[in-house]
Structures are given as structure tokens and as C-alpha cells.
Structure 1
Amino acid sequence: MRKLKLWLNSLRFKLFSGLLFTIVPLIIVLLIINHYSAQVVRNQVAQSNKNMLSLYMGQIDRNLQEVDNFLINLSQTNLDLLDLDTDRIANENNYNKAKLRLFQTINNSVSYYKGIDSFFIYSSLNKDLLMTQGFGSSFDERNQVANEIVKMLQDSSVTPNVYRWYTWQSEGNHYVYHVIKTGDVYVGVWVDAKKLMIPLQLIDLGSNGAALLTSDRLEPMSHGELIAQKGIHLALTNQAYTLSGTNADYLVMGEPSKKGNFYLFALIPEETALEKLPYLQRISSIISIGAIVFLLMFVFYMRKVFLLPINRIILAMRKLGDGRWNSQIEHYPTSTEFSMMNETYNRMITEIQHLKINVYEEKLMHQQAELKHLQLQINPHFFLNSLNIVYNLATVKDFKLIQEMTKCLVAYFRFMFRSNSYLVTLKDELLHTKNYLRIQELRFPGILSYQIEAPDAVLSLQIPPLVIQTMVENAIKHAVNMDEQIRIDIRVNTEEDDDNQWVVIHIEDTGAGFTDPILELLKSNMDLTSEEGEHIGIWNVKRRLHLLYSDKAAIDFYNEVGKGACVRIRIPADVPPTGGE
């Protein structure tokens, strides 16, 4: 909640909100006008084409009604149909005469009805089909149509109806038929759906538009590839149109036939419908796009010129708040005002760093009392545990170990109370550390072991006291337990590079190693000390090394596989310390 309040009160939010409150309402109004104009045009185009579909469907229905009247009159008044309803073998002469007269009747009538392919009469008793064929049809076409008609009449799902036309599909072809049954004689008409759709070709629906007929199951009789490619869904609704297609970019309108179980659909691309939008509507679209582009450009400009410099200053101040006093702002091209702010900030940080160093140095120059407080702290638990060990040894009268323990304690405290020793030799530091390890070895018999290795050439090197012993003490504190043996190794060696020679001190133990959170803290440059005094010895070592050697000395903490916690101290061997504490 606090972060939200800060963000709402930020200059960035106020700047952008003011700009948005100015531009966004304008864009919204223009978009509403654009949407409303498009909706009006869609409705007008849809209503116009809906009326046209009704007109064409009415024309088709009227043509079909005329054919219906002929079929009804033929089925109810022509007596020759009775002869076809009798066994052909019983009276073949009358059967053939009736068949001839019926053929002449339907053949003379087929030319009067537009769009009709064929009239047919079928005697189911004699399995005899009598049909006409349109002008110009080949023998194969007539034979194919005859087979389709017989197949259709033998289909159990086909139900003759006096008033309804139906669709039939076979091998990708679509047909429309009407059948009236008189006894066992079927009188019907057969139409290729392509002929019904010839007038629809006159409708201008654009280059990607289409008009088509569908079955009662809304299966398209043409333009199937277009419908599948565009993902158009055919459906009849009470609305003037529906938007369909993969991108909802087609206006779909349908009109049912009053005479048959089929429908007439028009598919109009939206781009064709909206190409007649008013000029003002297009101008509003351009203005909307221009406003959005202007907003994006303004945001980019303000971010580069105004917000990024502020963010750099804020980021540097946050680093400063986290204790990183070297968080200066890098020089980069910016406005004059921000350049002055950055230079002032960097100068202030430099002065603060110098002041902080001076304060540290002044504190470190206080006499032995402050020195003892910072770097020569006596662990009361260590002192009491050592006395307790002496007491226990006296109880068992192990005078030899009492003498050794007392001797080690005297040497330990003599080194600790060397008030004038701001620097000691590496040899003295190692002897003190060895003495400390021997005390701990007596404290943990059979648990703790150690080894110290150092070349003679580096033993005279001057270093701050307790640098090694502090790390050893930390290892014993966190690694030694009564369940398993622990070993501490101290190795001193030298390294050389192009410019300098270094003394490298390794303190390693075989414990569990540093935990990830502790290891992350130790690797950072932040103050590790807590209210309970945790890690104060490590902090003092790092601070004193920095004051004496600046950035030339380094101390690293890591875990080594198979060994445990490792501390690596790197000190220049050929560069004397810059001062003493």
C-alpha cells in the first residue's frame, strides 16, 4: 500500500495522468464515432443486400410455384398415370401407349419453365423411369441424372410432398427436386442447383464476396473452399446480419425459401461494405491514429529527456541509502539542469566519503581503549571455558596438562594485552594462532586437530594483529561439534603477477561450510555487525585491511568441496602498510 501511495504521488504518474486525461477522451470519442459510423454502414449494406436476397428468393420461389402447379395438375388429371401403376407384362400395349403420351406431355412442357433440368415419372412397380433432359445434354449426363433420380426415389429418407422442394447431394453435386406420389407412381421435377444460382451471379458482392444456396442442414452448394478458408459460419438469425470468419471480417445474411428446404446466403467482405464510409469517418480514424502516435512519441521523449535522468538520480540515492558510498552518477549527455544536479551529487558523495574516512581515522587514533574494543575483544565465554578446563584438570590432578594449559593462557593474554602493537609480524600472528588452537585442542580432546604451514621468507611480513586468529575463532565457533572430528588447516604461500608479489593465507576447515545467506553477506561490502555483536571480528579484519592496504588487500569467503568453509586473505608482500591503527 505504501509503494502504491508513493507511486501515485510520483512526478511520473502526475505527468502521464495529466497527458492521458487530455488525449484519451479525444481518442475514445473518435473511436466511438468510428465504430458507430462503421455500424451504420454495415446495417445499411446488410439491409440493402437482405432486401435483394428476398427479391431473388421470391423470384426463385415463384418459378418453383409454377412448376408445382404443373406437377399437381399432371398428377391429379392425367389418366395415363393409372396405366403406369399396373403390371407392364399384363397389358404391355396400353402401358407403352400411356408412357409415350406422358413423355410427350412432360417433354413439351419442360421448355416453358425456366431453370428446370428435367421432369420425370417413375413406376416403382415396374421399376421404369421416364424423364426429359435439358437441351444439349449428352448421353452420359442423361444417364447420370437417371441413376441419381432412381437412387433418390429408392432412398427410404425421401418422403414425397405436394408442396415442398428438397435438396439432394451426390459425389459433390447438389440438386433440388420435388416429388408427388400417385399410387406407386412418382411424378417429379429435377433441377441442378447450379442453374438456380445463375441469377445470383448478377449480385455484386466484391471480389471476395459470394452468393450461394445451402441445404436444410446449411451445407453450401457452392463456394465451399471460400467458406472453409475464411472460417465462415453459416447461420440464420433474427438480425439483419452476423459477423463471421476467422477475423470476423464477413457480413453473413441468409434468406429461407418458402417453397423448399434450402436457403439463400450472401457473404460480403467487411472491407467491401466499409469502402463507402464517409470521408469524415476516415479523417477521424487518421486523427485517432495520429493521437496515439503522438502519445507514444511524447512518452518516449519525456522518458529520455526527463524521466531517465531522474531515475538515475533516484537509483544513486537508493544505493547511498543502502550504504554504498561509491554510488556516483556516470557522466552522460543530458540537459544543463540535470548535468548540474549530477555534478553536485557526485561532489557531495566524494566529500561524504572523505569525511567518513576522516571520522574513521580519527576514531582509530584514540588510544588503546578503542583499539581493544574494535579488534582485541576478549571472548568471555572463551575465558570462562579455559578456567573451567583448568579446574577440571586440577580435579583429576593432571598437573602436566594444567601447566601446559596455564602456559598457553599466559601466552594468549600476553599477546592480547600488547597495547602498543598496531602491527605484528606474520610469525607472531601464527604463533598466537597456534597457541589459541592448542587451547581449543585441550578443550575438545579427540575432536579438533590442526596444521599450520608457512615459508620462512614471509614470516617477517608486518600485518594487523588477530587477522588469522579471528578467522580461526570463527571456524571453531561454527564448525566444531561433539559428534564428529574437525580439522583446521592454515597455509601461507606466495603468488606473483606482472607487477606485484602477494602473500596468500588460506584458513580451511572440514565442517559443513557457510550457509548461502551467510556466504552472500560475507561476500558483500555491507556492515555485517548486528546488535548481538555477530561478525564484529570479521568486520574489524576487513576494515583494518582496507585502511592499511586500501584496495590492494582482499579477503574472500567460499565453500570448497570435500573441505568445508574456506577463507582466503591476500596481502601485498612488497607494499608496506600505509598507516597503523
Structure 2
Amino acid sequence: MKKRKIRRTMGVFFTTFLLLQIILLFLYKAFIVDIAKKNEENLVENTLQIYHNTMEGVLERLDDNLDLLLGYRLLLTQLNGENNLEKVKAQYKMLQILKERCKDTKEADAYAVVNCKDNSILIQRNGNITYDTIKDIKKYLQKRNTFDKTPTSGWTSTVMGAQVYLVKYYNYGANTIAVLISEKRLDSLLNYNDMSIKEAAFYLTDKKGEILCASGKDWAYGEEIENLQKQDPSISIYQGSVLEDAYQMYYSVKSSEYAAYSTSGIVIFGFLVLSLLFFGTIVWYMQKEIFRPIADLFWVSRKIHSGDFRARAEYNTNSYEMEEVKQAYNDMVQTILEMRGQKYEQELRMKDVQLKYIHMQLKPHYFLNALSTINSMVYQHEEENVHTFIQAFSQNIRYMFRTGLHTVPLQDEIKNAEGYLEMQRLMYRDCFYVYMDVPEELQQYPVPQMILHTFLENIFKHVISIDSFTTVLIQALWSFSGKEVYLKLELYISQGQFSQEILDFVNKDMEITEKKDGSGIGIKNVKEVLKMMYEQDHLLYLENLEPEGTKITIWIPKTLKCTDEEKDEER
């Protein structure tokens, strides 16, 4: 197939476009008046349909709410009852229901329940209905109560006070349930102040065509809509029905004056030529400064998607914005690559810390010591103690097997700690005393699982012995730092001292050498777990007391940043 020059092809396109513009110019002169008139008619019909749908929707919603109120038949029956206490309760409940209906449908000015038996009225209203108007509403509804079951008025109009109202009511025994829409509310629904056609107005009439309300200025209640057109023949009136012809909606429009266009054809032709030249310049500029850079970004993205992470945008442009886009794109690619590397490293650290934390809880010597204790008590015929020990041991193991980088309520951690202490009391008898001070409001505070168990196990491993008596105090309290809320756990141990290496590692972030006997591993893992889960440093602090003893302080933030479940979901 023969290739064509782009310049020649574009010349044909531009020439054809120019000829079409000239033809359109003559067609425009011939049909502009007719087109404008049809457009106006379509606009009027569409606008009338919009306002019709608005009114239809409002009245239907109010109908539904009135049906809903009628469904509270027990309350309505209690309003007629002889028991004053039940009647007062029913009135209060009904007022609350009316209040909810007013909030649900702001188009209604009032919901009212009138009891003709005791001459009372329950009403929820807005500012369009004054206190004096309530008497008129009450009188109007009382006259229409027939003490029959659920006859309805349908929507009807009436004048109360100085305003016109649309009213619909149900009679249920001595009660009349009604919803009212004032003239002001209808006017706000009809008058949006955004009409595209000048000198246009909406009218809402009854079946007879008598005006109930309108968005225009010159009208009177009860005036026939036909009189408007008789008074001003230039008005065109369009009609639509509301609620299956219960009401009529009219849209009056001042007929447009379609003046002939007198603009010189030569001047228009010159502007057409200039517009074409300007159009060509725009196409050239967009090709050079926009389309080519975008195409370059597209191909660079394809290369990166294929695994070539060294690819970068390198187009040349005189546009400041596209130069900024290029720089931002290259920076974004570099940032994404760095973040991928950081995320990969974080996941490796997460897995390593999780495995260490789980391994720390499942040490063989813990189970061997427990089995040795059970064997000793069996040998000494301490059957009751064996039963107690095994029960506490099984609960502790069950709790331990759920361990991981997640939180549990503080009360669960306390309960597990108490079970562990019960086991130790059977082993160490009266060699220690543990007191826990945990306020009721902190029982459900989320804490990392096994955090108390880890420190208690270290205490029994390195501090408590049968040759001395040790006291341990565990205290939980609130702590605040700026806008952050913390749970502060304090552990006081009456004996033992931390080594300087452990203190420097925890409090000053200095390196620590892992010992062959495993000392310090538990504290190191707890520090890493806190940092990983809450993404904060210095949540653990150790100190030696004088003359003897230690204090452990743990701050647990309210907001959790990372758990093993979240990591699994991300993957």
C-alpha cells in the first residue's frame, strides 16, 4: 500500500474541515431559529419532569411515613386508654417517633397526632409552623375525625392562619394522624433559583386547575391557571401530573424572541480560517510537548514492568510541567524500588522475630522441668497437687500454643500469669509472693501475648530460689504522652540486679552479645517484638534499685501498627 505524506493528509483534512464549516454556516443560518425553539421546548419538558419527580418523590415519602405511623396501633390504642400512666408513656413514645419522622423527611413541616377523646395534640414541627397555627391544625383535624378505622383523606389543601397547607391524615379511632407541608416548604421545593430559562415559573394546582402555590410572583391562591395565559398570551404553559392526577404541575415560559443573525459571512469565514490555523498550531504543540513525552513514559513503564528497573524517562521538553512530571516519575520509580527493598527486609525481620518469639516460649527445659516436678509429686504421693499442677500446666500450654505477634486482653494475660504462678507455688512452696494491681478499666486493654509470662519466667529462672524469699509487684496504670495513650506496666522485684550490658542494650540501644546459657535472649526478643508491633523505640526500660532489686517498665501504645495476621493478609 502506497504511503502518504502526513503534511498532504493533514492538508486534505483541514480543507475538508473548512468546507464543512462553510456548509454548516449556511445551515446554521437556515435552521438556527427552529433548533433553538426545539431545544427550549426540550429543556422545558426535562425541567418539568425533574420538578415533577421531586414533588412525586416528596409526597410518596411522606405517604410511607404516615403509613409507618399508622402501624403503631398499640400506641394509638394506649392513647385512648383509661390508664393515665400508660397514656403518658404512649404520648412520650409517640413524640419520639414523630421526632424521628421529622428528621427522616425534612420536606414535612409537621407530623401530628390529635386525640379527639381528650382534646390533646402531639406534634413535631419546624419553624414554618408557629405556635398559634397549632390551634388551627388541632381544630382542623378534630373536625375530620369520624372515629372510624383508618379512613384517609388523600392529599388535600387548606388554609390555616395565613398559609396554605397540603395535608394528609388517617383516622384511627379517636386519633387523627396527619402530615403537613406548608406553602413556604412547597415554594422552596419549586423555586431552586437555578432555572436556565428567563421569566419561567412553576405552579402547583388541584384537579380543577386552581393554584395552590407557585414559584412566580404574580399569583393568588385559588386563581385558575388558565387566567395567566389569558392575561399574557406570550406565556407558554406546559403541564404534568403528580400522584396519579391528584395534583397538576405547570411550567410557564415566556416565549423567546428569535432575532435573525446579521453577522457578515466574510467575517465568519475569516474567523474560521484563523481557527483552523490555531487548531493546527495546537496539534503541533501538543504532539511535541505532550504526546511524545507521554509515549516515552508509556514505554518506560513497559520496560519496568518487564523487569528492567534501570529504565528512566529521558525525553526533552520545553514545558515546565512535563519536565516536573519526568522528574517526579523518575523519583517515584526510585522510591518504589527502595520501598520494595525495605518491605522485603522488614518481612524477613518480622519472620525472624516471630520465630524467635515462638521458640522462646517453647524451650525444651520448660517442659522437662514441668515433667520432673510432676514425677517428684507423684513419687511423694501428692495426688491433689499433681492434679492442680497438670490442670494449670495444660492451660498454660494451650495459651502458649496461640502465641505470635498479636495482642490479647490484659485480663487474659493476667489469667495465664496466675496459672503459671500456681505451677511455681507447687515447685517453690513459700519462697515468693506476687501481688498484681490491675484496675478494672484496664482489664480489656490489648497487650502482646506472653509479655508477662516472659518476664515472670526470667524471674523464676534467674532470681527466685528456695533459699530466699522474693516479692514481686505488678502494677498497671494509664500513661499519656501528647495525644498517644499508653498502658504502663511496672514490675518490682525485691531481689537480683541486671547486668550493665543488659541495661545498656535496653535503655541505650547498645549491642549485646548472646550468651551460651541463653541469658538476655528473652529481654532482647521482647524489645524487638514491641518495636515491630508498635513501630516505636524505648517502650521497655530496665533499672536496678538500691540496695537490691530491679524495676521493669513497659509502655504499650493503644494503637497497634503491625501483627503477624496483618502481614499474612498483605501477602
Q: TM-score range by the shorter chain?
A: 0.3 to 0.5
- Give me the TM-score of the superposition, normalised by structure 1: 0.36
Instruction: Give 1 or 2 for the bigger CA radius of gyration.
Output: 1
- Give me the TM-score of the superposition, normalised by structure 2: 0.37
